[in-house]
Amino acid sequence: MPSTSRPDARVPAARRVVFVDGVRTPFGRARKDGLYAHTRADDLAVRTVRELLRRHPRLPPERVDDVALAATTQQGDQGLTLGRTVAMLSGLPTTVPGFAIDRMCAGAMTAVTTTAAAIGFGAQDVTIAGGVEHMGRHPMGFDADPNPRFLAERIVAADALNMGVTAENLHDRFPALTKERADAYGAASQAKYAAALAAGKIDPDLVPVALRDPANGWGLATADEPPRPGTTLEGLAGLATPFRAGGRVTAGTSAPLTDGAAACLLAAEDVAEELGLPVRMRLVSFAYAGVEPEVMGLGPVPSTQKALARAGLTIDDIGLFELNEAFAVQVLSFLDAFGIADDDPRVNPYGGAIAVGHPLASSGVRLMTQLARQFAEHPEVRYGLTAMCVGLGQGGTVIWENPHFTAEEAAR
C-alpha cells in the first residue's frame, strides 16, 4: 500500500504558449533541375533550426526541451527520427531530444500544436517545431502500400488518394465553385505574392541555403523558385486539366510540387519573458477534424468551427486568415462556408501556396510565420488563424492572438 504520509504530486497549471519566431528556406521546384535537386532534405531542416538559434542568441541551446519535425514521406534523407537527427546536426546539445511526426500536409502544424500542448501543460518550456519535404526526391505516396481494404470494403473511393481528383470533386459537389472563380483566385495569389515580395515582406523570413551542383559548382538559394509573376486570367484559361479530361483544376490553380523546410520557436510566455525572447503571437486554440477523403479540401471548415467554439469566438472575430492554397477550389470552399468574399483583403495578404509552393509537411509553419508578420503590421487585429486541408480527409486550424493589438487601433 502506498504511504499516506507522502505529499500529493504537483499538477501544473496551464500556461500561455507563444510563437517566438519562425523561418523557412526559399522554396524550390521539385524537379531534376530544381533549386534543391542536389541538396539533402535533412540539411534543409538543419538550416532552419540553426537560423532560429542564430537569431536568438539569448536562448541557451540546452533550454530547448524538444525538437519536433514533420515529413510526409519518412524515408531516406527525411527519415530516421527526423527531429532527433536534425537536432544533433544543428549543434544542439545531445541532451536535447527530438522526434518525427506525420499528418501529411499538416505535419508542421501538428508539430507546433503537439509541443505547444506540452508547454501549456508544464512539461516543457521551449520547443522547436517544423517540417521538411523534398518532393523531388520523395513524391507524396511514393512506395506507399495502401491496405487493399480501403477499396475492397469501400472505406474510400478509388480516387480519394489523388489530391487533384479530390479538388475536382469539390467543383462537382458545389456548382458555385466555378473554374472562372478558381482561375481568378489563382491569378490573385500570384499578384499578391509579387506585391509582398516587392514590398520586402517575404525576404525577412527566409534563410539562405548553400547549394552544390555537380555540374555548376556552388550557389546560394535566396529566393523562392515556384512563383510565376505576371500570371493572367487569359493565360490560366487555356491550361490543361491533368486530373480529369475537361475538368476545372489546372496547374495555375494548384500548389506546385515543392521542396523546402520551415521551423519555429515556441515557449511558455513567462519563459520567453525570462529569456528576453520576443512574443510574436499567442496561441488561443487549435482543432483537427475529419471529412470524407473524397472531398479532402473541406477539412478546414469543421476544424475551424471546432477551434472557434473552443475559443468562444466566431468567424467575425478573425481579422487575418492564412489559408494553405493546396488548390484554389479548396480555399474557395472555405470562404463560401463562412460567407467570406473571394477577394477579402484579410485572406492571404501575401499570396499563398499557389504562388510560393507547398512542401507538404513544412507549410503549416510558413502560414504561422506570415501571420506573425501581418500581426505586427495590423495592431487593429486581435485574432488570426492558420488553416489547411490534409490528405485522406482532414483539416487543421490554429487560432492566434496578436500581442500588438490595441483597442485604440481597433476603434479607428
Positions annotated as catalytic residues are 105, 358, 389
Contact 143, 79 (CB under 8 A): no
Across the chain, how many H-helices and E-strands are there? 13, 12
Strand partners, 394: 290, 390
End-to-end CA, the chain:
65
Helix 328-337 and helix 300-311: axis angle, to 10°? Answer: 40
State whether residue 13 is helix, strand or coil. coil
DSSP 340-389: --TT-TTB-TT--HHHH---GGGHHHHHHHHHHHHHHH-TT--EEEEEEE
CA angle 15, 21, 23 (to 5 degrees): 140
* 284: nearest Cα among 191, 401, 200: 401
Query: What CA–CA distance (Å, rounded) separates 230 from 252?
Result: 12
List Cα–Cα distances, 21 to 113, 202, 240, 272, 389, in angstroms: 15, 14, 40, 11, 24
Cell numbers standing for residue 276: 528576453
Residue 260 · residue 24 · CB < 8 Å: yes
Cell numbers given for 191? 499578384
Taking phi first (over 0 means left), then psi (-120 to 50 degrees means alpha), and beta for anything else, what does residue 276 get?
left
